[in-house]
Chains A and B, each alone.
Chain A
Amino acid sequence: MARLNDDAQWIVLMGFVVSFSLFFLAIVINQSTVVGQTTAESVSEFPKNDIRGVRDVIVQSAIMDDQDPFKNRTGVQEDIRALSLGRENSVVSFTSTTIGQHTYTDIHYNNGVTAYNETYSSP
């Protein structure tokens, strides 16, 4: 357009500005999909419910004993290990020791991505 006709240069410039800003907005929206994707992946990957659940049953089993079939401590602990490995893809290891009045339960959880370790004490 140089030297041919210099009219309406402002209109052309504004046209460029508007179209570029539209494209930049589109890029921002495009990035939001990527951000949501990675967030969702990390939420799905972190086994929060799994750890809470297995911790809950381990703590319950720690205060059980083997005196009659209704207090089936050994069986329950074997259930926890087998089902963790078979259905939740996680290795669970736990032991209880009693020192004086207190029972300490060491809980180790590992599913290959997340490891969780805790010493639960009661009372």
Chain B
Amino acid sequence: MNSDGQLYTIEGIAAGLIMIMTAYIVVNSTSVYTPGDTHISDMQLEVLGGDALNMMNTAPNGTIGKNPLQTIVENDDASGFNTLFLNTVNARAGSGRDSIQFVANVTYRMTTGEINSTPLSSSTHPLTGGEHAVRASEWIMVEKQFPDCHASSCRGKHAVLVEVLLWRD
């Protein structure tokens, strides 16, 4: 048999393998970040919002008095919530502020047993529906009369949820 072309054959096989491997590695090394894959930034925003609400739901200096969030909800203090919440979530190390926007609602149980929400506060940019918003919520106990019931028996304590939609503008 003639074995002249063996080296060419081996080189051909090696080149073929290298090309296949290259193609495989090239295809593998790209990742496409689709709009559905935004869990990472969503999670960060959600944790940030939850932490901010948690902080507002803590009484100053560990006293047994009402905490800022309870006072805000009981007095329907929209601008107080706006200031405190935006200052907390938009704070950054270094100069400049972040541009997180929000809409906050208070969700409560009506005397009929149904669930209803009243608007609490929102930032200057309105929610148009096109934003990619995440939700953070906080349980609080308030002494407040909600609009569904005007009887004096409804003035007592209620467990309510403060729900916030957050998005980065």
Task: Please give the residue numbers on chain A whose beta carbons come within 8 Å of chain B beta carbons, in ascending order.
Answer: 1-3, 16, 19-20, 23-24, 26-27, 29-30, 33-34, 36-37, 39-41, 43-44, 49-50, 52-54, 56-57, 60-61, 64, 68-72, 75-80, 82-83, 86-88
Contact = CB atoms under 8 A, between A and B. Distances in A.
Given A26-B29, A49-B54, A87-B115, A2 B8 contact: yes
B108 A79 contact: yes
B69 to A, nearest CB: 11
Contacts of A60: 141
Given A23-B26, A83-B109, A16 B157 contact: no
Interface string B126-169: 00000000001111110100000000111111111101000000
Contact of A72 (B42, B54, B137, B157): B157
Interface of B: 7-8, 11, 18, 22, 25-26, 28-31, 33, 37, 39-40, 42-44, 46-47, 50, 54, 107-109, 113, 115, 136-141, 143, 152-161, 163
Contacts, number: 116
B29 A49 contact: no
Contact of A87 (B43, B137, B157): B137
Contacts of B155: 69-70
A69 B152 contact: yes
B137 A71 contact: no
A23 B8 contact: no
Nearest to A24: B25
Give the top 10 A-B pairs by smallest Cβ distance, nearest first.
Answer: A26-B29, A72-B156, A53-B139, A79-B159, A69-B156, A40-B43, A23-B25, A40-B39, A40-B40, A2-B7
